[in-house]
Structure 1
């Protein structure tokens, strides 16, 4: 596994973590030099790491030149209609470019697949793997108490890193609408800021 500088280097029997590259530098050559002996490269895409510039498309082109098979998991696809701010308006163009360059694309939702298909990505190369979560047998009452949530009522949950492009305001609008029919309902935002984000952002 090639990870960002600062990650803990690990070397075990069939698993290795190699810290190299930095999201603030040109990481393409650093990654290429650390994956000489691999056949398949699986990239976990996240806007905060790969940004909207040309480095990731360049990496994917280089991998193709080196005959490496590429899989990219795109965790978040912001539709053009919901994008806010000039940078986020580039989100669809960014995912279109990287999805077109990859051999296979993994997304978590049918709606994400539909966006990629609308952008011209062939359906047969898009695979849906629902976002995994650890299931718990803990009693609902205990969980709510531990998380400081009300014992009664319905809980709506939004999870993942908090970013402006996640449109949390949409969740608040939905909460308002749900409250018209379900009086005792709460919105629980589970997670926090992405690595490297300032509290101000």
Structure 2
């Protein structure tokens, strides 16, 4: 575990050795998207699995990822079994695999969109069959869920031994909206890499940005990121600080790319040209490694998250930026409100380019304030480094194991054919397609001659 103290103007990090895991937690399987799949959940699941494995080498950590394509992905050796998002039978098969392999803890990463069925309900088919303790990390907790979303989350809460949320807001929503007892929930922050607190000039020459003031947004591109509002703010910023450059780092989200291609990125590029700031915008349209990301973050003077969804309860990119000691300007989505409190960042209204410009200019004008904000953010985030987060997760795993020992569930009994619903072939409606034209369905006819 890491603890951080401030001595005058120096930042000193000390390391505390993580205690050994208690007897009983020897094998943990993490269920969720996994690299090389490109999405925030995949990055989180991979980082958490690796962090727990490194902090507790005596624990066997493996992964059970979810595939969104029939081809799957070229996974690393930690992956022992694969789910297919829309294939309900694969969820039952995964439950059988976990039950017979002496798994001590299943750690589920829940986000509605990564599992098949209405509101991701396919994951319930797996959870209902599991015989070991389940710890579920909730990456989304909705204040106003629709009936299907509410039903899924309430059953996940019931089937899980413990729940993990990453913010106090998430804890309050589970209590107030879903009726989950607080005693069942642990608040564990989003993990971050442990990076040094460095002057942005240290990395700028690596990207040809020496002598420039760097604004940065990173993450998978999609229209809900609100980057167009930041580009709209650039003319006013550039007028005051002509040496500013706005770096937009990240590939287009794979789901967006499959549906819309690069239309969003191209619209941003057209907007920058139309506003006359194309010489002050740089796109790096690729998925970067952690080392590259650390260097880009290190080069940034200000990190910007102009996101459009107020109900975003977790942002890994925001956590990374705060952990790197960046001055942050953000819209007030839930995670930002909590993480940037106490002058660890600046909040601006949604879709307000004028406010973005004003606050960024204020920070660029006031170096003392900007540096003080950076230091406050960095110090606050030291408990969020992955070794610390791994320790907190292991405590939650041990708690779930102990609670299950005190209150055991019915003994595991092998499922027989009578316990499973009869399997039917997939419905094939090709014959109806052949009988249908632009007017309607042709019936009661001999070839094309009506026969009433």
Give the TM-score of the pair, scaled to structure 2: 0.32
Within a 5 Å distance, the mapping from 1:39-188 to structure 2 comes to 39-51=104-116, 52-63=119-130, 67-80=131-144, 90-118=148-176, 119-137=178-196, 138-143=198-203, 146=207, 151-152=212-213, 168=225
Change (3 A) 1:31 1:116: same
Equivalent residue of 2:163, what SS? strand
How many pairs align? 176
Instruction: Supply the distance in 1 between the matched residues of 2:167 and 2:174 (Cα, whole angstroms).
Output: 11
Change (3 A) 1:6 1:140: same
Give the Å deviation of 1:54.
2.4
Partner of residue 6, structure 1: 73
| CA offsets 1:29-68 (integer angstroms, 9 cap, x no match) | 22113212212111112333214142112211111xxx21
Change (3 A) 1:144 1:129: farther
Give the Å deviation of 1:161.
5.2
Equivalent residue of 1:106, what SS? strand
Give the Å deviation of 1:24.
2.2
RMSD: 3.9
Instruction: Supply the distance in 2 between the matched residues of 1:55 and 1:115 (Cα, whole angstroms).
Output: 23
Q: Which blocks of at least 5 consecutive residues in structure 1 are unaligned? A: 11-15
Give the TM-score of the pair, scaled to structure 1: 0.65
Check whether the contact 1:113–1:126 (CA below 8 A) recurs between aligned residues.
Answer: yes
| CA offsets 1:146-177 (integer angstroms, 9 cap, x no match) | 496x9548x686x665567xx545xx69xx9x
Partner of residue 79, structure 2: 17
Q: Which blocks of at least 5 consecutive residues in structure 2 are unaligned? A: 1-62, 67-71, 262-452
Partner of residue 38, structure 1: 103
Which protein, 1 or 2, shows the higher relative CO under an 8 Å CA cutoff with sep ≥ 6?
Answer: 2
Check whether the contact 1:73–1:106 (CA below 8 A) recurs between aligned residues.
Answer: yes
Equivalent residue of 2:124, what SS? helix
Larger radius of gyration: 2
The answer to which structure has the higher helix fraction is 2
Change (3 A) 1:94 1:9: same
Change (3 A) 1:6 1:156: closer
Instruction: Supply the distance in 2 between the matched residues of 1:190 and 1:30 (Cα, whole angstroms).
Output: 39
Instruction: Supply the distance in 1 between the matched residues of 2:158 and 2:250 (Cα, whole angstroms).
Output: 31
Change (3 A) 1:45 1:30: same
